[in-house]
Homo-oligomer: A and B are copies of this chain.
Amino acid sequence: MGISVNQLETVEMFKTLDIESLSFLENNKVCQSFKKNKPLFVEGSYPTGVFCITKGKVKVFTLGESGKEQIIRIASDGDVVGFRAMFSEEPYKLSATTLEECNICFIKISHFMEQIHEHPELLQAVLKEISKESGERAMFIKTMAQKTVRERIAIVLLVLEDIYKEDPINLSREDLANFVGTATETTIRILKEFKEDELIEINGRKIILNDTNGMKKEAGY
């Protein structure tokens, strides 16, 4: 834990900030290393600040009555999580947990809001981010309602490819299933088919996409 410099530069949402306000945030952040499977925040509690991921992956999810997680988003380096609840003035509707070891900078609400009020371009960036998010979620609703499980698995693999970039996709089968919105067993069965069709390679829990175009066909676009 501690204060360190020049970590927020990589944060997408802060790209539009001038040096002055960026360094204000830099000076007021608290950076911390998180082990795997550590919660950043839990649905129902109230936000105290925002989390900027500088290294690692975080799952953002919500629990159903049965205790089953629905993953809404996998956040990665350069992403900010937990800012939505700040502006809706509600408790968190979602929880966030690290998927691997992470470096995360925490910025207190008061400091973040201070910069927002002084720097309209940050507000603009936040508004744009939340607007995009809301639009993507509408599309996700449609996907859930209209696509088969097979198509949804293909879609999620394509989304994850973007997030994991060069690296193989590295999620438990259960997390994968909870992102797709299906049973773990179904996920495993369909992954096996994709492997047999040479769309992916499987090394233990790691998945490598071999044929992005083929996968897009599976996704039904």
Tell me whether A208 is interfacial, beta carbon within 8 Å.
Answer: no
Chain A interface category by residue count:
35 or more
User: What are 22 A-B residue pairs whose CB atoms fall within 8 Å in the complex?
Assistant: A62-B138, A62-B139, A62-B142, A64-B146, A65-B146, A65-B221, A70-B146, A85-B135, A87-B131, A88-B128, A90-B135, A93-B135, A93-B138, A93-B139, A117-B120, A130-B131, A134-B137, A140-B141, A141-B141, A141-B144, A144-B181, A145-B181
Tell me whether A72 is interfacial, beta carbon within 8 Å.
Answer: yes
A69-88 interface code vs B (CB 8 A; 1 in, 0 out): 01010000000000011111
Given contacts A64-B142, A144-B181, contact A130 B127 (CB under 8 A): yes
This chain: copies in complex: 2
A51-71 interface code vs B (CB 8 A; 1 in, 0 out): 000000000001011101010
CA gap between A141 and B195 in the complex, in Å: 28
Tell me whether A166 is interfacial, beta carbon within 8 Å.
Answer: no
A interface residues (Cβ-Cβ under 8 A, vs B): 62, 64-66, 68, 70, 72, 84-90, 93-94, 117, 120, 123, 126-128, 130-135, 137-142, 144-146, 181-182, 220-221
